[in-house]
Amino acid sequence: MRYRDRSDAGERLASAIAVAGVGNSDERPLVLGIPRGGIPVAAVVAERIGGDFDVLVARKLGAPGNPEYAIGAVAEDGTVIVDESIVERIGIDPNYVEAERQRQQADVERRTTVLRGGRAPMSLVGRECIVVDDGVATGATLEVSLRLVARSGAARVVAAVPVGPAETIERLAGIVDAAVCPLQPVPFRAVGAWYDDFSQVREEAVIDALERFRPGG
């Protein structure tokens, strides 16, 4: 199985979420998309399951010389996760880790301001929250987002991604109430390997998606 694009992934993920019995309570679930790539997936999920929709900003901490390889992540509330085993194995200088944390935290703050347009985030208290990205590899960015949601008073936290390695999904399932991932290929390779179109999502597209779900959007 492969996905044509993120919209196709959102459709199939929404079906898997329904089969898993997620979002079937009387109250509308809150679907939280991780920008940028998770937003078009999450928007389709929210539409299909009848949920509310908001953004949850998080950024990976990239390895030296390989920014796409996550050694940790930071979320919009300042939550930070660093995979010390990777740091030790590669021999990354602690000064680099701290500098990368500060750089990504600053970008998270900028993105939060731009994407929310000055609006306050939707309250997570007492809600069933489904946190969506376009896929996971190490899962660092999704994990830090899930921990933020859990600490924010959500009644139920669900991780939902179209594709990821089984070991990562199993680890994430251990920190949430449910994890949904319809495609767990072996070998995994990379998230983009399972999309025909995995082109970069523009910031303007994220803002447009968020506007569609706001009252009067």
Burial class (CB in 10 A: 0-12, 13-18, 19+), 152: middle
Q: Give all domains of the chain, ordered by start, each with its CATH number.
A: 6-57+121-213 (3.40.50.2020), 60-115 (3.30.1310.20)
Give mean pLDDT, residues 185-193: 95
pLDDT per residue over 71-96, tens digit each?
Answer: 998 988 888 889 899 999 999 999 99
For residue 95, the tally of other CB atoms under 10 A from its CB is 8
pLDDT of residue 27: 80
What gap in Å lies between CA 150 and CA 158, rounded to an integer? 10
- In single-letter form, the type of residue at position 118 comes to G
Written as six digits, the tokens of 4 are 């044509």
pLDDT per residue over 55-73, tens digit each?
Answer: 999 888 999 999 888 899 8
- In single-letter form, the type of residue at position 197 comes to D
Vertex 67, ends 66 and 72: CA angle to 5°? 110
CA 42 to chain centre: 9
pTM recorded for the entire structure = 0.89
pLDDT of residue 215: 62
pLDDT of residue 155: 94
For residue 183, the tally of other CB atoms under 10 A from its CB is 18
User: In terms of residues, how long is the chain?
Assistant: 217
pLDDT of residue 25: 67
pLDDT of residue 22: 79
For residue 190, the tally of other CB atoms under 10 A from its CB is 12
Q: Tell me what percent of the residues of the chain surpass a pLDDT of 70.
A: 97
What gap in Å lies between CA 66 and CA 73, rounded to an integer? 14
pLDDT of residue 121: 87
Which residues have CB under 8 Å from 177's CB, separation 6+? 156, 157, 158
What gap in Å lies between CA 182 and CA 13, rounded to an integer? 7
pLDDT per residue over 128-186, tens digit each?
Answer: 999 999 999 989 889 999 999 998 999 999 999 999 999 999 999 999 999 999 999 99
Q: Does residue 187 have a cis peptide bond before it, meaning omega lies within 30 degrees of 0?
A: yes
Mean of the per-residue pLDDT values of the chain: 92
pLDDT of residue 16: 97
**35: closest CA among 81, 66, 72, 75?**
75
Q: pLDDT at residue 43 above 90?
A: yes
Q: pLDDT at residue 26 above 90?
A: no
pLDDT of residue 64: 95
